[in-house]
Amino acid sequence: MINSPAEDKVLTTLRSNLQSPISNLLGLLAATLHDNFPHYTGVYIYLLEGETLVLGPYRGRPTEHTRIPIGAGICGRAARVKETVVVDDVNADAEYIACSLQTRSEIVVPIMRDGRVFGEIDIDSDAPAAFTARDREFLEEIARLLALIWG
């Protein structure tokens, strides 16, 4: 599949910084995703520490959810089932933990290798059903790249 210019920009930035310290790389990723995709109103990177997802770098609205137990909310679900979770209407999902009243949809992509979750890319949008199959493919590609350099 041919990447959009925005996707190419993010992937080029990520690939050219793979040797950077992971915290710098994740901060750059959050900023680049947020700046290049207008429907990504919040980009949050969570790192798994034991049984808890801990907020790392992010861009967008601040969140009070800096620590999320595995199994709680959409983020916890994605870590528990070890696959991408897309929610078109967060208000219709009983597990949703509200970060912002403006958020209408969410995608959470685990960063994992060999069945082990290291973290997640969590993206909120103020638009309902904002995330397409292409968003999913693109974010899963990023997660695969990150997993190669983890641990």
Among candidate residues 75, 70, 11, 9, the one with its CA nearest the CA of residue 42: 75
Q: Is residue 17 part of a domain?
A: no
User: Measured between alpha carbons, how far is 121 from 123 in angstroms, rounded to an integer?
Assistant: 7
User: Measured between alpha carbons, how far is 90 from 47 in angstroms, rounded to an integer?
Assistant: 22
pLDDT of res. 19 = 87
Q: Is residue 92 part of a domain?
A: yes
Ramachandran angles phi, psi of 19, nearest 5° = -85, -5
Domain count, the chain: 1
Q: Residue 109 in contact with residue 23, Cβ under 8 Å?
A: no
pLDDT of res. 101 = 75
Q: Is residue 59 part of a domain?
A: yes
User: Measured between alpha carbons, how far is 120 from 118 in angstroms, rounded to an integer?
Assistant: 7
User: Measured between alpha carbons, how far is 39 from 35 in angstroms, rounded to an integer?
Assistant: 10
Range of weakest confidence among 33-47, 67-81, 87-101, 118-132: 87-101
Q: Residue 76 in contact with residue 68, Cβ under 8 Å?
A: yes
pLDDT for residue 3 is more than 90? no
pLDDT of res. 53 = 95
Range of the domain at 78: 5-12+22-149
Q: Quick: pLDDT tens for 70-106.
A: 888 899 999 999 999 999 998 888 777 777 778 999 9
CATH number at residue 33: 3.30.450.40
Q: Is residue 144 part of a domain?
A: yes
Q: Is residue 46 part of a domain?
A: yes
Residues 118-133: what's their mean pLDDT? Answer: 96
DSSP H or E run through 40: none
pLDDT of res. 40 = 97
Q: Give the pair of three-digit tokens for residue 99.
A: 């970060």
User: Measured between alpha carbons, how far is 38 from 4 in angstroms, rounded to an integer?
Assistant: 14
pLDDT of res. 71 = 81
pLDDT of res. 102 = 85
When the pLDDT of each residue in the chain is averaged and rounded to a whole number, the result is: 92
Q: Residue 141 in contact with residue 11, Cβ under 8 Å?
A: yes
Of residues 3 and 94, which shows the higher confidence score? 3
Q: Is residue 29 part of a domain?
A: yes
Q: Residue 108 in contact with residue 119, Cβ under 8 Å?
A: no
Residues 7-14: what's their mean pLDDT? Answer: 92
Q: Express as a percent the part of the chain with pLDDT over 90.
A: 74
pLDDT for residue 151 is more than 70? no
